[in-house]
Amino acid sequence: MQISQLAQAGCSVWLDDLSRAKLTGTDSHSLPPRIATDGVVGVTTNPAIFRSAIAGATEYAADIAALKGKSVEEVITKLTSDDVRQACDLFADIHLESNGFEGRVSIEVDPRSAHDTQATVTEGKALWQIIDRPNVMIKVPATIAGLPAITELIGSGISVNVTLIFSIERYLQVIEAFIAGIELAKERGEDLTKIHSVASFFISRLDSAIDPLLKADGTVLAHSLLGAAAIANAHLAYQSFEEEFATDRWKVLAANGANLQRPLWASTGVKDPAYDDTRYVLELVAPHTVNTMPQSTLDAVIDHGIFKGNTISGKYEEAKLVFNQLTELGISINQVTADLESDGVKKFSEAWNELLESVKGAMA
């Protein structure tokens, strides 16, 4: 299928990957052709992506050698921000043509600061200045400490990608933090038309957590719910998006030029080979959405994806039924999503520490 079909339905396609090799064309899946022919209009990164990109890669050796005398943290900031800045430049025309909605490239604050509001704000503002491109997005985890950081960064005119969202409850808090940030930006005289945000809802990890519980249950009902939780969760999130951005409070801000905070579907690579490898893309299509996918998922969608149009709107009752049935089986969505958030922060922190060790070894 053509990625343009998703775009016409209001779903933007971003690539969840970045490396020096992709930027320079030494990777077999280099970024420029993906932009030119495949319809990719943005890029997201995370600590695990940077770990995979930098660890042992020869493309970074010269830069690491040139930064002798710097701390390992300074070296990593230089390497990652340079890559993101170059990617921003690749997407500059798309960013301009889309009035800032597309051509976005995300970079995450140090995940070890996920539970420290002030450290997140300080690093977010620093990254915004270092990269110095209007189409960069600063990625902030949706932890309790991250929520006020989101408000402050948005209030300072900084575009933010809120990451690691798993539950509807936390998503509503993210929307509140965003709207409060837009109100703060308005009070401070910031240009609201320049501020953009996405709320990154993680998809496949929910099925990966709930499916083993269903298999252990073994009942007919449990078997019927395999692979249903993640998509249902995203559908209910989209319902919340529609409701929260239809309020009078938001309409006042929109009238002053504020842009919607779009839902972004992340972690859309299918983990279970029993499932269709395009399901977390083609079952999550609706206006004002973004789907950031790994290379393998993008290739699968292009190769054999079957476009179904809007697959979210009107399916909210079905999604609620899935959640009610999970509750009947004694599965606590709140507990599962809380564990996923904690585990997500932990995994990104571990990836960052592994990157630190790898770069430290290269500097020796």
Q: What is the model's pLDDT at position 309?
A: 97
Q: What is the model's pLDDT at position 23?
A: 93
Q: What is the model's pLDDT at position 29?
A: 76
CATH topology of domain 3-363: TIM Barrel (3.20.20)
C-alpha 186/C-alpha 273 separation (Å) is 48
Q: What is the model's pLDDT at position 182?
A: 98
Helix, coil or strand: residue 263? strand
pTM: 0.96
Contact in structure between 9 and 285 (CB atoms under 8 Å) = yes
Looking only at the bridges linking them, the beta strands covering 261-266 and 42-43 are: unpaired
Q: What is the model's pLDDT at position 345?
A: 96
Contact in structure between 113 and 123 (CB atoms under 8 Å) = yes
Q: What is the model's pLDDT at position 125?
A: 98
Residue ranges of the chain with pLDDT lower than 50?
none
Q: What is the model's pLDDT at position 24?
A: 86
C-alpha 228/C-alpha 280 separation (Å) is 11
**Per-domain residue ranges for the chain?**
3-363
Q: What is the model's pLDDT at position 56?
A: 80
C-alpha 297/C-alpha 229 separation (Å) is 20
Q: What is the model's pLDDT at position 34?
A: 83
The single residue of 22, 125, 139, 194 carrying the catalytic annotation is 139
Task: Tell me if residue 308 is catalytic.
Answer: no
**Which residues, listed in sequence order, are joined to residue 289 by a DSSP beta bridge?**
11
Name the strand (E) or helix (H) holding 238.
helix 229-244
CA 147 to chain centre: 16
| Backbone φ/ψ region at 333: left (φ over 0), alpha (ψ -120 to 50), beta | alpha
Contact in structure between 23 and 31 (CB atoms under 8 Å) = yes
Q: What is the model's pLDDT at position 30?
A: 86
Phi, psi for 265 (deg, rounded to 5): -90, 115
**CB-based contacts of 168, cutoff 8 Å, min separation 6:** 233, 236, 237, 240
User: Per the structure block, which two tokens stand in for 115?
Assistant: 């539970």
